Structure formats: C-alpha cells, structure tokens
Structure 1
Amino acid sequence: MVKQLVLPIKDSNILSQIKDTLLNNFIYGRRNYTVFQVGKATLLRVSDVLALKYDDVFASDGSIHSRVLIHDKKTGKPNELYLEPVSNDLKVYYNWLESNGIHSEWLFPSLKKQNIGTDTHINERQFYRIMQKVGDLLGIDYLGTHTMRKTGAYMVYQQSGHDIALVMDLLNHSSQKMTLKYLGLDRETKERKLRRVNFD
C-alpha cells in the first residue's frame, strides 16, 4: 500500500474552501471545523487534539483557559498549548454544544456513540474519513489527519519570517532537518539558498 502524501495547505483560497466544507457538509460540521481549527492553531498531532478533555479547554462558567498543559502521546514530552488564537472558534463551539445539549468529558465527542449511551471521543480513523470526504468534494488528493498540523506549522513559518526554531519548538521536534522535511520545505529551502550562491 502506498503511503499517502499529506501536504500543508499553502493557498488561502483552498484553505477557506476546506474550512467551509468541514463546517457545512457534515451533520456535526461545527465539531469537525473546530477540530481542524484547534489542530491548526496548536500544531498538535491529531491524536492529541482528539484526546483533549472538555475541562482542559473550558472552565465551569464556559470561559476558555488561555493555556493548557498536556503531554504528547507520541513523545511523552510536556507541551503547553496557547489557545488565544482559536478562542473565537472555541466560544462558538461552546455555544453549539450547549444549544444542542451535548455534554461529554471529551472536547470532541463521537456523537454517534453518545446516542447509544457510550461517551468517547471522535477517533483518528473517523477524522481521516472526514478529511478524505472533504478532499473528494473539493478534488484535493493531499488531505489527511496531519493536514491541520502541517498547515498551522507552515503558517507560523511563513508569518514569523521563516523562524524555523519557533516552528521546531511548537512541533516538539528535535532537529531543524526534521521540521523542514515535515513541512516539505527541505528541498525548497535548499534550492532557495543555492540560488543566492555565486558559483562564478
């Protein structure tokens, strides 16, 4: 089986279409959209986004914690999340949960299972299928569960003046090489640097 190539979304128009499709083409679109936004803003792996608890993010009065400390499932490293960039989306999501009477210990519950009395969060396979459906609807073949993390990392890289050290830190990576490869920038960066060299 060929491993699917998942790339960051670099085009703002395509990003808008993906967000719009996540929001408007699914029964639980508001949840799916918020998963994507939180993943993009925190640069978490999908497993860590989906495993967030409701109380990790919301206080008892519905306000949003400005910072959340978690441990990455894959690496075990501590990771402090800064939620301010996604606070507006989280406020809308909180109101959506309230107005639909959805109460779960999980931030992103699997609502199918909740209907039959089991409280669990949406899993990676379910979210992969959601992203595949978005890709099918839009004719994009490079979407997957890593899309939001790669896109968020790429946005930070571009908008921070190519601060690779910051992106490395946010991704909890141990080397620049790993980060550049993850963003698909290893070749692009090498070629850009070589263009500046005068070989005369």
Structure 2
Amino acid sequence: MNFVQPIRDPELIRTIKHYFKSKSERNYMLFVTGINSGLRISDILPLRVSDTKQSYFNIKELKTNKQKRIEMTPALKRELRIYIDGKEDYEFLFKSREGVNKPIGRSMAYKILREAAEYVDLEEIGTHTLRKTFGYHFYKQSKDVAMLQKIFNHSSPDITLRYIGIDQDGMDKAMKNFKI
C-alpha cells in the first residue's frame, strides 16, 4: 500500500476542482465532499441524497462502527444544494454508471483521483488524500490538534499530526535548512 499525502497547496486544490468541474459534476462533488468533510471514502461513497438534507452528516462509520455527526462546511452545503437539485432522496450521491442506483466503488474513486493527480503532476495520492487534505487545512487554519484528533477519532495528537503530514512538513523544512 502506498503512503499518500494531503494536498497542501491551495492553488493545486483549485486547479483540481476546476479540472473536475470541467469533466464531471459527480467527480467534482466527490472531491469537494472529501476535502470538506474529513470522512473516509468508505463513508462518503454510500451517502444518498437524503443524507445531505440537514446541515450535517449523520453516519455510522464503516471502519469503527461508531455513530458520527459531522457538520457540513458552508461551501460544501452550498455545492451539495446545487448538485442534488432534481435528484430523489433514495439516490446515491456518487452513482455508478453500472446498474440502476449503485454507488461507485472504492477502486473507481481511486481512479478518479489518480486521473486528476496525473493532470496536475501530483504523486502520493489516493482516496485517503481527501481526508488528509481536510485534516491538513483544518489544522493549518485552526491550530486545534485536539479537535482534529476528535474528528478523526485518533488516540493521540501525535498520530493526528503524523497522519496529516505536519511531522513531514517539519522534517522537510529542517532538512532544507540543515547545513554542515
């Protein structure tokens, strides 16, 4: 399994959004949902239109089997409102082209992200990149590692910082500034 990184550069995020917007509304919304919610891809893919009708996601995490309530960011709420217009409550948000009403699978989500990564020449990207990108920018804006730890359901702040690549940032900076 490859180790994936968050997308740290806001300009790169804008470029990827623009890329998806020009190609596919579904893929654009998958990306926007991931980077604005901090949910795992396994919790994003089964979302239905009805799950977006409140101002929060109320889900049972697939990995931990724990009930979780995540408030939607204003940007995500706005985008989802537009995206679900004309869709039925029972429909999956990220429908596959195969079958009548089936969500895309994890491997398709990965392919979608890899395509955008190739477009912007980005490596170390995968489905977890969405969650890590959310975490990285949440931390950079709030500096609240305890809150992020709670959102991610991690057991320690150290795990959270390592997970979102803050430790990597520090090591990279230290190596760039190192002189003998």
> 1:45/1:113 Cα in 2 relative to 1: closer, same or farther (>3 Å)?
same
Q: 2:48 aligns with which of 40, 53, 59?
A: 53
Unaligned segments of structure 1, at least 5 residues? 59-64, 193-200
Q: Give the aligned partner of residue 93 of structure 2.
A: 107
2:102 corresponds, among 120, 141, 162, to 120
- Deviation per residue, 1:67-86 (Å, 9 max, x gap): 23211100112210212421
**Which residue identity is paired with 1:18?**
I
Query: Which residue is 1:42 aligned to?
Result: 37
Alpha-carbon displacement from aligned partner over 1:98-144 (angstroms, at most 9, x marks no partner): 2xx7885312211x114xxx321111100100111111122111221
Give how far 1:191 is off: 9.1
> Match of 1:62?
none
Match of 1:148 in 2: 130
Aligned match of 1:164: 145
Structure 2: stretches of 5+ with no match in the other structure: 174-180
**CA pair 120-144 structure 1, distance change in 2 beyond 3 A:** same
Q: CA-to-partner distance for each residue in 1:138-160, whole Å, 9 max, x for gaps? A: 21112211111111111110100
Distance in 1 of aligned mates of 2:158 and 2:78:
34
- Normalized against structure 1, the TM-score is what? 0.78
Corresponding residue number in structure 2 for 1:90? 80
Q: Secondary structure at the match of 1:113?
A: coil
Aligned to 1:23: 21
Counterpart-to-counterpart distance in 2, 1:143 and 1:11: 14
Q: 1:17-64 CA distances to partner (integer Å, 9 max, x unpaired)?
A: 111112213xxx111111111111110000101111221113xxxxxx
Equivalent residue, structure 1, for 2:177: none
Residue 40 of structure 2 aligns to which amino acid in structure 1? R
* Correspondence for 2:165 among 181, 184, 193: 184
Secondary structure of residue in 2 paired with 1:75:
coil
Q: Contact conserved, 2:50 with 2:89, CA < 8 A, in 1? A: no
**Equivalent position of 1:78 in the other structure:** 67
The amino acid of 1:7's aligned partner reads Q
2: CA distance between counterparts of 1:170 and 1:190?
A: 25
The whole-number CA distance in structure 2 between the counterparts of 1:75 and 1:189 is 30
TM-score by length of 2: 0.86
- The residue type equivalent to 1:81 in the other structure is I
